[in-house]
Structure 1
Amino acid sequence: MKALVTGGAGFIGSHLVDRLMEEGHEVRVLDNLSAGSVENIRRWLENERFEFIKGDMADFETVKKAIEGVDVVSHLAANPEVRISSQSPEKLYESNVTITYNLLEAMRNSDVEYLVFTSSSTVYGEASVIPTPEDYGPMEPISVYGGAKLAAEALISGYAHIFGFRAISFRLANIIGARSNHGVIYDFINKLRRNPDELEILGDGTQRKSYLHVSDTVEGMLHIFEHFRREGKTYDVYNLGNDDWITVKEIAEIVSEEMGLKPEFRFTGGVDGGRGWKGDVKFMLLDVSKAKSTGWKPKLNSYEAVRRTVRELLEG
């Protein structure tokens, strides 16, 4: 297949690009490099099956050009930082909703057959059912980030049903691994490099969430996409995460141990009952039984994924 990966120079996107290239597909990347890096895809730049377009999806003509001749679009371009929900809601709207609308408008008069979208567990908000299944409702995001992802999902579903392409959304748990440049593990490592004796931990440390290594994420996306293609649905949604979860304090302990340090933990206390920031979902565990029913399952649990990620980031 010929694939377009938006945000393909970013964290998850570049790992997806690696797999697609290794499997022999033609791959085009569209990325404005606001969150990604050319270094993540440098190994492919001279490959005849690979094309890189530096461009912003806010520009419709750029998007229109990027989808020419492709069979499938994997749409990963987004602002990945949940924490800016309260400071810059307009940025999250533009980088999650507006660019998705531009992509869909370009696709509706094209020959693109499939759209793969990376959504987020944040669409569920503070779910009363844990583990949370795909059919949970009502959806009530508690951050602008979660709201923007849910809005993008709704647009994709509407366009797919009206304009004759097929689409799948993956609601991702916390995805971690090499090349990540934000998130709790990345923050902890940088804080301890600055001050090995003390580690500031946002919130009360009891926040508990599911973490999935990026290698398991990409494997899951590709495996389930093939299942989706065979199944014949116009639109479908899958959770991608782990069966277990881990607290922020436990992550701090693993990071400290891997760095050979014994810092004093200083908890900020957080907001709204110990959250790290306003809009932070304190407890998140996805029901991944639907994904596992296709034959996929993660190789690393949350604890193993965290430890491997710490080692990868320290080596990188």
Structure 2
Amino acid sequence: MKILVTGGAGYVGSTLVPMLLEQGHRVRVLDNLKFGGHGLLPCCQNRFFEFRKGDVCDAATAKSAVEGMDAIIHLAAIVGYPACKKEPQLAQAVNVEGTRNLLGARAKDTRFVFASTGSIYGSIPDYVCNEETPRAPITLYGETKGQAEQMVLDAGNGVAYRFATAFGASNRMRLDLMPNDFTYQAVKNRNLIVYEGGFKRTFVHVRDMARSFIFALERWDEVKDDVYNVGHESMNFTKEDVARKILEHVNFYLHFAEVGSDADQRNYEVSYEKIRKKGFETTVDLDRGIAELVRAAQLIEFQNPFANV
């Protein structure tokens, strides 16, 4: 299968693209390299790998990228509350208009898998969210993803995945994700301050995210034209739970603060029964993921340009 992966040099893409290549697919990546392309360097050894530097916001670039493709996995986005708040116009352009460009350029029989987010549920602590729960985003990130998700479903021959909070080591690492950040601070600073420790989120490992895209392409007729939460109920934890799990792997000072708040007020539980009934199960639990992150944190070094030591 010929597959276009937008944002393929990013956190999820740099995990997914090698998987697709290993399965024998021909993979074209479209990415503007805002965060570099080092995560894809090993893919260059594969003759079925093609890279194009470009932006989904440019309609001509999008049209050229989708040409000849059997499937599109759309990852390119301004991801997360802080990034969208920092550049709101860019978030709207990439997350919404970029998706519109790709949908408008593809052939009708080209499969379209869209990376949405559980953030569209907002803060609903009183009951378990499922795919029928009304969208109630409280951030620009959730709003733009909700708009794009609806366009994908309206266009047909598409699947939208509402992912739990991602975590885990990737070829293009992110330290802004809560479990990744907590683990890095514990390993490097031997200190972690947690506020709003009772807030709940559900987590999904980056490799399971990648696997879910492959699952959709392999079961297309069974899953198409629908939306699915992707994660597992067993991975629903409070911030305190995550911090205490890290304590099982790293010796550090953990403090729970009485003051302080998270502007991204996600606090909810989610049902993943729908995709599980289709046959998809996650494989990486929190303990295994944290152990992996501890090893990864030991490899990450930042040089302070203002220090002499």
With the shorter chain as reference, the TM-score category is: 0.7 to 0.9
Aligned residues: 296
CA contact (8 A) 1:2 1:70 kept: yes
Residue matched to 1:140: 136
Counterpart pick for 2:199 among 195, 204, 207: 207
- TM score, norm. by length of structure 1: 0.85
- TM score, norm. by length of structure 2: 0.87
Identity %: 31
Residue matched to 1:226: 218
2-structure distance, mates of 1:215, 1:193:
22
CA contact (8 A) 2:197 2:256 kept: no
Residue matched to 2:304: none
RMSD: 2.3
Is residue 2:182 matched to residue 1:191?
Answer: no
**Structure 1 residue 128: Cα displacement:** 5.7
Residue matched to 1:123: 120
Structure 1 residue runs of 5 or longer lacking an equivalent are: 161-165
> What amino acid is aligned across from residue 169 of structure 1 in structure 2?
A
Counterpart pick for 1:270 among 260, 275, 282: 260
1:64-213 pair list within 5 angstroms: 64-107=63-106, 110=107, 113-127=110-124, 130-137=127-134, 139-160=135-156, 166-179=157-170, 180-181=173-174, 182-192=176-186, 195-196=189-190, 198-201=191-194, 203-213=195-205
2-structure distance, mates of 1:269, 1:225:
46
1:2-13 pair list within 5 angstroms: 2-13=2-13
Counterpart pick for 1:261 among 228, 231, 251: 251
CA contact (8 A) 1:75 1:117 kept: yes
Residue matched to 1:243: 233
**Structure 1 residue 193: Cα displacement:** 5.6
Residue matched to 1:163: none
Structure 2 residue runs of 5 or longer lacking an equivalent are: 301-309
1-structure distance, mates of 2:161, 2:25:
21
**Structure 1 residue 232: Cα displacement:** 7.5
CA contact (8 A) 2:28 2:49 kept: yes
| Per-residue Cα deviation, 1:44-63 (whole angstroms, up to 9, x for no partner) | 11422110111111211111
1-structure distance, mates of 2:52, 2:197:
41
| Per-residue Cα deviation, 1:144-167 (whole angstroms, up to 9, x for no partner) | 10000000011112223xxxxx10
Relative to structure 1, is the Cα distance of residues 100 and 122 closer, same or farther in structure 2, using a 3 angstrom cutoff? same
